[in-house]
Amino acid sequence: MTDPVAELAAASGILPRYTDTTKTVRETSRETEVAILAAMGIRAGTEAEARESLADLQTGRGSLPDWAVVETGARPMLAIDADQEWRLHFEGGECHEGRGPDSLPVLPLGRHRLELGDQITWILAAPTSLAPPGRGWGLTVPLAGLRGPKNGGFGDFNDLREAGLAAARAGAGFIGINPVHAGFPTDATAFSPYSPSHRRRLNTLHVALGDAPPEEGPLIDYHAAIPAKRIALRRAFDAFEAAGSSPEFEAFLAAEGEPLRRFALHQALSDRHGPYWTDWPAEFQDPASPAVAEAARDEAQAIRFHAWAQWMAATQLGSVSRDLQDAGMAHGLYLDLAVGTHPAGAETWMERDQFAQGASLGAPPDAFAPDGQTWGVAPLNPTALIADGFRTLAETLRAQLRHARLLRIDHILGFDRAFWVPEGAPGAYVKMPLQAMLAVARIEAARAGATIVGEDLGNIPDGLQDALAASGILGCRLIQFEQKDGAFKGAESYDSQALASFGTHDLATWAGWGKGADIAARVELGHIDPERGKVAFQTRQAEAEALQAAIGGDGSAEAMHRFLGRTAARLVTVQVEDVLDIKDQPNLPGTIDDYPNWRQRLHIGAGEFALDPRLGRVGEIMKATGR
């Protein structure tokens, strides 16, 4: 007899097994299958429930696929009978009706809804590949840390403009920052940019107001800085309202419509009940409840304030983007899309059906995390994502590309398969609609004239990097990892369809890597025992010697940057920590309060970048290597 739970799990995209980075084959347990199905909203607690859910799933599937990808400007080829009537809704609103497959129209760029009786197929009309970028380079900086130790607070959009213009004068084609998604401004401990409240809204704490810095020193004190910034925002809003608002703000409200109003309502409720909706009184946890409707009337001015703050953030970030492109940057802003959203943030409150409940994204076990990783962010539910025509993904990408011509998609492995860790059970992989998600990325990037970079590091599924390359999406290549059997790749051996860098915000800097600063930090924190640390130090020393042999020169940051510039990668990023010879990395994965993650200020402020000869020297090196 067949196993209805296993059959249902397979039909829902849960992989029965996987091989981790240590080459260990791990079977997906029954406990995990049931837990992940529950997180998807599918009942499978007993075999009878599983059979019923499987029957419902099979009943809902018709003769056509749930989605299809076609090339922009082509006519879809679908198995429609000659006498079958259909209705096709273009994404732009235009509607076509006809009978049989031959009368289907040529499709413009976009996500289009085909109705065949009760069945719906989403047709994704996308370019087959994005245009490749020219050979260039850019600078990555931590936005929060752009204020130096003498001017306190944390970086704002004016600081970003100053740093970006300095990079442009040095010849950089872009400046990259960590995600600027909306966070949790009432929780001074929730400042990680990779655990946002809503990825289609902006972090208003970076709005530039000319407010006085609340504190000084090498580390940001968010407990002091965030309340001070919130007070300054309120005062600025009150002054704005007293002056009679503005036509631009009113136009923004009208254009953003109900999604902005719903987000601002969430923020107003957070002011009253706390940052996480799962802790709110039960009557406010449902956005459609009468209590929430009443709160919307009572909190009208608070809702307007939060909408104004979003307008300010969008206006300022847009201004930075235009200024950088006017300064000659080929791409301007290089933004970063976080892999997931906080399970108790605005995004999951507003669109609960789009996300799995009771499961987190994570990573399978490896040599450094034998129990795997749980990231504390909610996965997209593939069934709901497809049923809604990939709207959530499209709108999330569009929100970033509104301001950027270069976008990094964090952990793009999740386009192929996402590692879900359900509550109370081991994790497993869930298959995602890869070709559809890549098509949506191409659609949104083509609309914006943008380049997409996919962070393809880790336990990479077979064929994913080929699929990214076919789509014109750049992969990520890190000098630290580009080695095999103790030898590092030569510059000419790097993939051209990639963005290369020495490391990332989660890895050791150039000044720290050779000295094993990341290893020392983990030994000091007790993450690695001293004996294992000693072995790791020895391994790192051998790696440092091998890298020195590969890059040549005197072992300086300049030599590394010269090697980076010579790589075959189309784009390269220079990390500001390496320009300024900073030893400590911005973030140490697996730590929270025991390492100053996202709190370190740069040694100089953004306004001093243009005067620092080290940035100019990097520009000269990149120009000399043909960038």
**Distance (Å, rounded) from C-alpha 77 to C-alpha 308?**
46
Q: What pLDDT is attached to residue 1?
A: 57
* Angstrom distances, CA of residue 305 to CA of 244, 252, 262, 299: 14, 13, 13, 10
Contact between 61 and 15 (Cβ < 8 Å): no
Residue 332, Ramachandran bin (φ over 0: left; ψ between -120 and 50: alpha; else beta): left
- Please state the separation of Cα 293 from the chain's center in Å: 32
> Which residue bears the tokens 């509550």?
423
* Angstrom distances, CA of residue 557 to CA of 564, 582, 608: 10, 11, 20
Could you tell me where the DSSP H helices lie in 351-472?
382-387, 391-401, 434-448, 464-471
Contact between 447 and 111 (Cβ < 8 Å): no
Q: What pLDDT is attached to residue 240?
A: 97
For residue 136, list its beta bridge partners: 571
Of all helices (H) and strands (E), which one includes residue 151?
A: none
Q: What pLDDT is attached to residue 60?
A: 60
Contacts 24+ apart (CB under 8 A), 3-6: 4/44, 4/47, 4/50, 4/51, 4/54, 5/30, 5/33, 5/34, 5/37, 5/44, 5/47, 5/50, 6/30, 6/33
**Distance (Å, rounded) from C-alpha 203 to C-alpha 201?**
7
**Distance (Å, rounded) from C-alpha 315 to C-alpha 312?**
5
List the domains of the chain with CATH numbers. 4-59 (no CATH), 67-126 (no CATH), 136-355+377-415+433-624 (3.20.20.80)
| CA-closest candidate to residue 159, choices 213, 239, 226 | 213
What is the length of the chain? 627
Q: For residue range 116-127, what is the model confidence (pLDDT) as tens digits?
A: 988 999 999 999
Of all helices (H) and strands (E), which one includes residue 409?
A: strand 406-409
Q: What pLDDT is attached to residue 370?
A: 74
Regarding predicted confidence, which is higher, 459 or 297?
297
**Distance (Å, rounded) from C-alpha 293 to C-alpha 185?**
23
Cβ neighbours for 9, distance < 8 A, ≥ 6 positions apart: 16, 28, 33, 36, 37, 44
Arithmetic mean of pLDDT, 579-595: 93
| CA-closest candidate to residue 233, choices 203, 256, 265, 266 | 203
| CA-closest candidate to residue 591, choices 515, 504, 514, 527 | 527
| CA-closest candidate to residue 566, choices 504, 626, 482 | 626
Q: Which two tokens stand for residue 179?
A: 């995600």
Question: Of all residues in the chain, what percent carry a pLDDT higher than 70?
Answer: 99
* Angstrom distances, CA of residue 330 to CA of 129, 333, 400: 20, 9, 17
Contact between 157 and 207 (Cβ < 8 Å): yes
Contact between 577 and 567 (Cβ < 8 Å): no
Computed over every residue of the chain, the mean pLDDT equals 95
Of 171-180, 382-391, 604-613, least confident by mean pLDDT is 604-613
Model confidence at 58: pLDDT above 90: no
Model confidence at 307: pLDDT above 60: yes
Arithmetic mean of pLDDT, 423-428: 94
> Which residue bears the tokens 């607070």?
153
**Distance (Å, rounded) from C-alpha 164 to C-alpha 323?**
9
Burial (CB count <10 Å: 0-12, 13-18, 19+), residue 112: buried
Model confidence at 63: pLDDT above 90: no
**Distance (Å, rounded) from C-alpha 417 to C-alpha 590?**
22
**Distance (Å, rounded) from C-alpha 175 to C-alpha 167?**
7
Arithmetic mean of pLDDT, 33-62: 89
Could you tell me where the DSSP H helices lie in 119-209?
157-169
* Angstrom distances, CA of residue 91 to CA of 114, 254, 388, 436, 453: 11, 20, 12, 16, 25
Eight-class DSSP state of 14: B
Of 19-23, 103-107, 202-206, least confident by mean pLDDT is 19-23
Model confidence at 110: pLDDT above 60: yes
Of 152-156, 317-321, 370-374, 507-511, least confident by mean pLDDT is 370-374
Could you tell me the pLDDT band of residue 59, with boundaries at 50, 70 and 90? Answer: confident
Could you tell me the pLDDT band of residue 137, with boundaries at 50, 70 and 90? Answer: very high
Burial (CB count <10 Å: 0-12, 13-18, 19+), residue 424: exposed
**Distance (Å, rounded) from C-alpha 394 to C-alpha 113?**
14
Model confidence at 364: pLDDT above 80: yes
Model confidence at 132: pLDDT above 60: yes
Q: Which two tokens stand for residue 617?
A: 């020297």
Arithmetic mean of pLDDT, 11-30: 92
Residue 41, Ramachandran bin (φ over 0: left; ψ between -120 and 50: alpha; else beta): left
Model confidence at 212: pLDDT above 70: no
Question: Of all residues in the chain, what percent carry a pLDDT higher than 90?
Answer: 89
| CA-closest candidate to residue 174, choices 321, 317, 318, 330 | 330
Write the single-letter amino acid at 132.
Answer: P
* Dihedral of the alpha carbons of 592, 593, 598, 599, in degrees to the nearest 10: 180
Q: Which two tokens stand for residue 269?
A: 């409720």
Q: For residue range 390-423, what is the model confidence (pLDDT) as tens digits?
A: 999 999 999 999 999 999 999 999 999 999 999 9
Q: What number of CA atoms fall less than 13 Å from residue 565's CA on the CB side?
A: 21
Of all helices (H) and strands (E), which one includes residue 27?
A: strand 25-27
For residue 71, list its beta bridge partners: 126
- Tally DSSP H helices, then E strands, for the chain: 19, 23
Model confidence at 590: pLDDT above 90: no
Contact between 46 and 37 (Cβ < 8 Å): no
